[in-house]
């Protein structure tokens, strides 16, 4: 039976390259110039950014970690929902990340390039325009769903699609930005998940007769005991 649930991002971070003199130095930085691990409700703009002003370049990225160990079943559909605020001049997309020690630690500066920038794994079919005062909803692809089922977590970076993800230097005097609402219980960053629940109930046999789907027309998933034996 398909069920629906929502899982809020357990870890939420914005990390910045800082101003660099070349696009490669900003985009491929092996360490963040600065970052914030958000733990209280905060509106942040920019939370995602691509910028070139003359010969100055920088990028900002949002990193998210979702613990999916509480889902008892197989995920079949997922959407990433991020509430937009303040600024919306960017096309953004989520990709696979290996930041946070895959959930064991908080973000550290060296996590900035922990998303395989030379060969990123896309978690959607492409980028989409950022919106504000409502949710940005990204339908996640089969790669993201497979990772979620096998790892029991989802580790995501959300970044600019036009220049950062594609590694295309921005034209002169370009700034694209997104604003995000972090760590709020009212409009949380979350995964909207549909999954097939793992069946529970009686298993085994009675008088050497194997139980398949039902006993006397009652589904075995609805049977917790027989003759007071669980």
- Mean pLDDT score of the chain: 91
Neighbours of 59 (CB within 10 A): 26
Is 149 a member of any domain?
yes
pLDDT level of residue 8 (50, 70, 90 thresholds): very high
* Residue 54 confidence (pLDDT) above 90: yes
Q: How far is Cα 160 from Cα 175, in angstroms, rounded to an integer?
A: 11
**Does the predicted TM-score (pTM) go above 0.85?**
yes
The residue among 198, 200, 196 whose CA lies nearest residue 225 is 200
Q: Is residue 211 part of a domain?
A: no
Look at residue 95 and tell me if it is in a domain. yes
Q: How confident is the model at residue 228 (pLDDT cuts 50, 70, 90)?
A: low
Digit-coded pLDDT (tens) for 184-204 = 999 999 999 999 998 865 555
Residue 199 pLDDT: 83
Q: Tell me, what's the pLDDT at 191? A: 98
Task: Tell me if 223 is assigned to some domain.
Answer: no
Pair of tokens at residue 221: 């998933």
Q: At residue 72, what are phi and psi to the nearest 5 degrees?
A: -100, 80
Establish if 148 belongs to a structural domain: yes
Kindly tell me if the per-residue pLDDT of 210 is higher than 90.
no
Which residues, including other chains, have CB under 8 Å from residue 39's CB and lie 6 or more apart?
A: 183
Residue 224's pLDDT is: 53
The pLDDT value given to residue 217:
58
With respect to residue 230, please indicate whether it lies within any of the assigned structural domains. Answer: no
Which residue range is the domain that position 138 belongs to? 2-197
Q: Whole-angstrom Cα distance, residue 153 to residue 147?
A: 8
Q: What is the pLDDT of residues 150-159, one digit of tens each?
A: 999 999 999 9
Residue 208 CA to residue 217 CA, distance in Å, equals 19
Residue 188 lies in a domain: yes
Assign 48 a pLDDT band (cuts: 50, 70, 90): very high
Does residue 202 form part of some domain? no
- The total of structural domains in the chain comes to 1
């Amino acid at each position: 039976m398909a069920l629906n649930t929502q899982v809020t991002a357990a870890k939420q971070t914005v990390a910045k390259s800082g101003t660099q003199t070349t696009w490669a130095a900003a985009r491929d930085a092996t360490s963040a110039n600065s970052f914030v691990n958000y733990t209280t409700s905060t509106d942040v703009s920019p939370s995602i950014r691509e910028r070139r002003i003359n010969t100055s370049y920088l990028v900002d990225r949002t990193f998210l970690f979702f613990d999916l160990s509480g889902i008892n079943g197989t995920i079949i559909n997922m959407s990433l929902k991020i509430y937009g605020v303040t600024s919306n001049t960017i096309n953004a997309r989520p990709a696979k990340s290996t930041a946070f020690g895959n959930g064991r630690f908080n973000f550290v500066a060296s996590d900035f390039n922990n998303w395989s920038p030379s060969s990123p794994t896309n978690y959607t079919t492409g980028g989409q325009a950022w919106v504000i005062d409502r949710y940005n909803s990204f339908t996640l692809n089969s790669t993201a769903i497979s990772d979620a089922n096998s790892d029991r977590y989802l580790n995501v970076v959300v970044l600019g699609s036009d220049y950062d993800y594609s590694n295309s230097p921005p034209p002169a005097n370009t700034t694209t930005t997104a604003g995000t609402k972090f760590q709020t219980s009212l409009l949380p960053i979350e995964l909207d998940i549909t999954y097939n629940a793992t069946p529970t109930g009686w298993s085994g046999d009675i008088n050497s007769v194997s139980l398949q789907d039902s006993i006397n027309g009652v589904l075995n998933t609805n049977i917790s005991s027989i003759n007071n034996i669980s």
